[in-house]
Amino acid sequence: MAPNFMLILAALLVLSPFSQAYDNDPLQDFCVAVPDASAAVFVNGKVCKNPKQVTPDDFLATGFNVPANSSSTISMGFRVNVADVNRIPGLNTLGLTVVRVDFEPNGVVPPHTHPRASEIIVVLEGTIYAGFVTSNPTDGTKNRLFAKVLNPGDVFVFPAGLVHFQMNVGKTKGMGIVAFNSQNPGVISVANSVFGTDPLIEAEVLTKSFQLDKKTIDFLQSRKWS
């Protein structure tokens, strides 16, 4: 009797909303975000504005038809124009973020992950080489690379949490629209998280991990990563 009960309980937990890995489903029509500085409490997300004070502007962002004015990533040859919950308060609890990515020729979005979201890109301009790498196999084989050269009209998906990248391999500028299934997907840049931390990771850890000499590690840690 008891084993059957535990089996049923386990099945219910697997099928229940408590087992989901992404943003929680909304429990009302909308939950327009209050700016963090105005919030009286901290929650996993953002505090809701009084629905009676909500306006159409809470669901609107403008200027998505042009590249971002500036970006810390411009040294890599790309700019991001982000429409997230901080820009559109009405996105709160809806599990969505949209980004416009503009590439210079040879511009690259370096290897990175999004810990809280899957990603999809629609290429509208240029020729974009994009791909992701699987997690470490358990059979001793190498991580697999899944990559394609994308042209305007092509769509490519990056599974949640996996290291991925995009690069404009064409001779003209490129542009794509990216969507995430989270209002806060997060970004972990591989190079920055390894070589650009504060304080720095002890060099001995990195020399052994990457099988490089300390001089090379010191050089990599002295670089400005983004």
Q: Which residues are annotated as a binding site for Mn(2+)?
A: 112, 114, 119, 164
Residues with Cβ within 8 Å of 60's Cβ and at least 6 positions away in sequence, in order, are 88
Q: How far does CA 12 lie from the centroid of its chain?
A: 30
Task: State the amino acid at position 60 in one-letter form.
Answer: L
State residue 143 phi and psi, 5-degree precision.
Answer: -60, 140
Annotated binding residues, as ranges? 112, 114, 119, 164
State residue 109 phi and psi, 5-degree precision.
Answer: -90, 105
H-type helices in 112-201, by residue range? 190-195
Annotated binding residues for oxalate, as ranges? 114, 119
Both structure tokens of 207: 């020399």
